Structure 1
Amino acid sequence: MSHDLFDLAREVGLEAAAFVRHSRPAGRVDVAATKSSATDVVTEIDQACERLIRDRIFAARPDDGFVGEEGDDVAGTSGVDWVVDPIDGTVNFVHDIPSYAVAIAARRDGVVVAGHVVNIASGQEYGAVRGRGAWRQVGDDRQPLVAPTGAPLARGIVATGFHYVPEIRAKQAAAMARFLPQVADIRRTGSAALNLCNLAEGHYDAYFEQGLHLWDQAAAGLVATESGLVVTGLDGEPNERMVMAAHPAIAAEYFDLVRACGF
């Protein structure tokens, strides 16, 4: 059953990625609106992509629910709902920075059971099914993702992102001044979904970010978890207040540092 949900997520995700790729004009994309701040943007292509995903999912599974970034939630009756980010990394998309993704997750009774993430610009795909592992999808082949242990703090490369609300960004800047001397460096690439998938591949040693919504991290969070990483919040489940991820062998020292720095 969960594999069937993954197959639908992948089928729709690839169609949506192709739609965005072919719809994107050359140069900088026009912004249709903003959300939490002037830098938290949405484009007409975001909105059209979400409509496409929604239409395809409901055509296949009309009794399911839907939670999307750009539209109203739909309550279903099947016990399954879909959590969708049509373009994770919209600012990158607007500026033609090739790190933005379609992320689709399926939940059963509130638990994410399948997830698919595809980098729209490069075509790189990631998938996971709860209890069945995570993988890098290359055509029809699945290359298992088993997250490496990662480096200790002093040698760690940590992926992160910053909030769109100016007052919160100011607090993050102060916390980052305390955090940065404790690690080798940080990377800020602009897509939470791709950051989590890249952590699962071993490109980073840890990850944390504030301000993420469910659709930002549902699909990629499952990829990270199924690859063997710990994904958590400051004091419990990952949420808008904080999402942190690292290998179990080094998670405690990274997470303690994030808390100690005042993020």
Structure 2
Amino acid sequence: MTSQETDLDRRFVLAKAIAQEAGAMALDYFNRRDSLVIETKRDPQDVVSIADRTVEKLIRERVEATFAGDGFLGEEFGHTAGSSGYTWVVDPIDGTAPFVSGMPNWCVSIAVLHGNEPVIGVIGAPCHNELYAAAAGRGAKLNGRVLTLDPTRNVRNAMTGIGANSHVAPEVMADIIIRLLQAGGTFIRNGSGALMLAYVAAGRLVGYYEPYMHAWDCLAGYCLVKEAGGWHHPFPVEGERLTRGAPVVAAGPGARADLERLAGLA
């Protein structure tokens, strides 16, 4: 085993452990969510609570304690550059709106970049007692079960996840839905893009498309989809682009062409 493989495996073990610990903390907040003070960020649909901030602090502390030279980007507290070549990209609670509304469609999303590639993706969904975990060259698993995507599934015989937010005009989203339905597909939106990407890796959804999404929402899911045998459109992570939004597209092998057409990439 090379030193780089050892470095990756050590971080993979830590990412899975942190996801479990952070998920337990988030679930505790979820079970007493009526006591949380809910704030809005850029619009009334973009909400945050003390749960998001406290969980992100926990994850940062655990990473810094073991890999002090790693960079860190979290949704709530921004980017801290590192010196090791590894950067952790974290959404402490993706799906805060479902979270504060008492729905189980939220997750803890932890990715690790090495260079410009997401080499670790771990997504914990505590309400479902599910842990999705993948690392480069090591495959993807759900609660220890290997995930392998079925190439016979496409938008016409399976469901597609669609994400929307106020960064994208309603008319644009309506056109996406119309074209998907015209192609013989159907769609679901559960309020957590990261969780829907995990569902693509698990074969529950055949693909996922959101015209504007951030790195902390998608990079863990991208690693999972790739390691399960799927495809994803590259996310720009060079320099300041890491902190900006971009289109996110991922699909199983039988739906790549469908999703590329839907996203205007083909």
- Aligned counterpart for 1:241 among listed residues 239, 242, 246: 246
- Structure 2 distance, partners of 1:74, 1:57, is 12
Contact map agreement 1:145 1:200 (CA 8 A) in 2: yes
TM-score by length of 2: 0.87
Return the letter of the residue paired with 1:243.
Answer: V
Match in the other structure for 2:191: 190
SS of equivalent to 1:135:
strand
5+ residue gaps, structure 2: 1-6
Does the alignment pair 1:76 with 2:78?
A: no
Identify the range of structure 1 (177-186 vs 3-12) with the bigger mean alpha-carbon deviation.
177-186
Match in the other structure for 2:220: 219
- Structure 2 distance, partners of 1:154, 1:108, is 36
SS of equivalent to 1:154:
coil
SS of equivalent to 2:110:
strand
SS of equivalent to 2:77:
coil
TM-score by length of 1: 0.88
- Structure 1 distance, partners of 2:140, 2:78, is 30
Return the letter of the residue paired with 2:260.
Answer: F
Deviation at 1:30, TM superposition (A): 4.2
Return the letter of the residue paired with 1:255.
Answer: E
Matched-pair identity in %: 31
- Aligned counterpart for 2:113 among listed residues 107, 113, 121: 107
1:70 to 1:252, Cα distance in 2 relative to 1, 3 A: same
- Structure 1 distance, partners of 2:42, 2:215, is 15
5+ residue gaps, structure 1: none
Contact map agreement 2:180 2:186 (CA 8 A) in 1: no
- Structure 2 distance, partners of 1:38, 1:204, is 28
Deviation at 1:91, TM superposition (A): 0.7
Contact map agreement 1:89 1:191 (CA 8 A) in 2: yes
SS of equivalent to 2:149:
coil
- Aligned counterpart for 2:49 among listed residues 43, 51, 55: 43
1:93 to 1:63, Cα distance in 2 relative to 1, 3 A: same
Contact map agreement 2:121 2:224 (CA 8 A) in 1: yes
- Structure 2 distance, partners of 1:173, 1:231, is 23
Contact map agreement 2:215 2:235 (CA 8 A) in 1: no
1:178 to 1:84, Cα distance in 2 relative to 1, 3 A: same
Does the alignment pair 1:86 with 2:87?
A: no
- Structure 1 distance, partners of 2:137, 2:75, is 27
1:181 to 1:215, Cα distance in 2 relative to 1, 3 A: same
